[in-house]
Amino acid sequence: MRRVITPAELQGKNTVVLARWLLGKVLVRTTAHGRQAYLITEVEAYDGEKDLACHASKGRTKRTEVMYQPGGRWYVYLCYGMHEMLNLVTGPAGYPAAVLIRGLATVRGPGRLTKRLGIDRDLNGVIATRATGLHLEDHGIVPPRGSIRSGPRIGVDYAGPVWAAKPWRFWIERSGPHPAKTYFAGAL
């Protein structure tokens, strides 16, 4: 089963639940050089202005405007002046929330994955559809029972102890067989 996930499926106020749901979904990048498809294995949720780790915690700005748009579009920003970060906007219009795509089955780290897939700020605000060259698919892959872990988000100490400790980072445990070997046999 290979089904394109529509932007409408990515909208809703429960960004934390949606982040966990994205584990096992497939991120697809299509360019003139072909199609690349990777299993999503690590994500982080950022949920609205009240979340002090969320870029929108300071309100609506030129940078965060895309987060206030309807979910199902990409929020791409530059981190530390050198790494592009890929986020999926998830809230309904007016509610700024997003999920950072932190890792793929064969790529660890959000900066490495954007580099591998040729993702830059030209995709900021672009809707996640096949036509735009960056979309999500559901291949019916379900992470093995007990393999999903959660913990604090990475690099958000500036948000204070309560928000930095939120267990809103989710990943597929990599002990044992690498997820790429387990899931990719005929799946992509």
Condensed to tens digits (0 to 9), the pLDDT of residues 175-186 reads 554 444 444 434
Locate 66 and state its tokens.
Answer: 């895309």
Q: Which among 71, 59, 50 has a CA at the least distance from the CA of 159?
A: 50
pLDDT above 70 for 86 = yes
Structure-model confidence comparison of residues 177 and 78, the more confident one: 78
Condensed to tens digits (0 to 9), the pLDDT of residues 3-55 reads 999 999 999 879 999 999 999 999 999 999 999 999 999 999 999 999 999 99
Locate 14 and state its tokens.
Answer: 């429960």
The residue count of the chain comes to: 188
Cβ neighbours for 52, distance < 8 A, ≥ 6 positions apart? 159, 160, 162, 163
Cα–Cα separations (whole angstroms), residue 27 to 19, 125, 160? 13, 17, 32
- CA dist 156 and 161 (Å) reads 9
- CA dist 83 and 61 (Å) reads 21
Are the C-beta atoms of residues 24 and 145 closer than 8 Å to each other? Answer: no
Phi/psi of residue 162, nearest 5 degrees: -70, -50
Please give the pLDDT value at position 179.
47
For domain 3-173, the CATH class is alpha beta
Rg from Cα positions in the chain? 15
Cα–Cα separations (whole angstroms), residue 99 to 15, 16, 32, 106, 146? 7, 8, 27, 19, 22
